[in-house]
Structure 1
């Protein structure tokens, strides 16, 4: 909630601060004054209310200005906060004490000696300054009007129709008393118990001539038959076998699905059969071809890059191929002596 004025004073000056708050409230100022304050360090609520208020009025006294007083910290903290705001700090002296720097150089209104029946000139100037900050005029003139001079007050209100003092609360119209007829209509009437519904007439039972077979049935069986007709019969629906079920013609959609399944199996079946045949043939012919050995094998190895298939020599398990053990000896060719220089022939 935003306030018009927040009052900051020492706890020892509670009586004078209460009087200032009442005077300002009589002029329709929204005043924030914590008369029950006991803390000496500004709380978060104190700081928020100081920031939201249009003006902060600091009341200086000997206690408030005394550095040795524990309450001086709270008063000066609020004063410093208001001084940092634009045009928010208003100061008044409750006695002859001078505040500390830098507040001793700022403007202060002297309201010492103010009491319940005495309003000093400094308070008139303070009221005009606070009113100007709120856009209000001639508040000191309203203070000078005597309490019983209603004509002067009405004239001031007419001259300042937009001022909060001129605004009068609408009186609530007295509630109309209900007339005798309305009261009688509103009075609850004793409810008479409703009469029970008349019983329905019994339908005459049609008399039928007894058959010859029914006459032969004993009386006990006739009584059981009458009880069976009165009690509802429970119908049981036992499960029926598929052969007993009536034939239902399949829908076109189900026929299409069956045809699609048949076509799929006709295609997938041969493919799976071909794959199985290939696997069987690969298992049968899993061993490699045996080499012919000798010159043919060497010849095939020599021309292996020409595209002929390379033949692998197969041997029984546990044995080593002969080609790895028997290494053919190296054969030397003709020896050529190339150390001697050729002598040129004489022409």
Structure 2
């Protein structure tokens, strides 16, 4: 699937009542298989696009969808309405693979998009379809603790102490949870532990988990609103949103090492072709790399892929404790060593080793 030079679309979508329009969101359970029906329409009618994403991107895409609709109207003279679906990334991938009709997916990791590709819905080579491995923004994993850090949590080894209650989602359903697990694994590996010793450390960490939510937003709710646990292992953007929403109640602790999280975007080729939305879907993902979109991504605490914009948001502080959203907007802390998925052999190998049925996670955590 290649991007056409001229976008000429004759399409309209009649979506079920459970779908929510531009900037809105819906749980994946409200988007049942077959709920999207397409009727022929004239070129002047609204183009409707469905983006199936993961939990923590709700605020990002609420802002981006408005920006994109304005861009598309000005550039191509047509109205676009984007419907959002959010949930645990792994669960979302399975929903799309099993029939949830998404024109695009913007999931937490390449491996979840591969699940959709393996179902025959996305063409090969999707990581080369857009720039930077089809990852327009990145993130990392940090800790969110209560104000004053009463348990003095500084690094990953503090999470295996018997007096620490941990909140993290389930790697079986959440892409963010996979990143959490791999970041912890990398830390203990850097401490010189053998694979068996790392497994024991990870087992101790998960034995401290108070609740294993299905997605990252649910885990944030358990920690922030329900006051469960002593530390939340969090997406960086989720942690900053908590600081923003609950000033003075929480602090971010940036661990010594973590992992570069690369959310992956893709056109769901088979569905987009069926709906006649291939061109607009491609433009929707391409525009995530525009300067305007990159600014929105940074303002929603995602690390933009455009270096000049990224550099605008880098802080000069040496502290790994963040007590408030910086007034100058410079929130990106580069005082951290990041590994990436290549360290684990790529997503196919990481899934087989750690997250497949009977693999490492199953061996250390009793469901």
Shared fold (TM-score, shorter chain, > 0.5): no
- Which structure has more relative contact order (CA 8 Å, sep 6+)? It is 2
State which structure, 1 or 2, has the greater radius of gyration over its C-alpha atoms.
Answer: 1
Q: TM-score range by the shorter chain?
A: under 0.3
Structure showing the higher strand proportion among its residues: 2
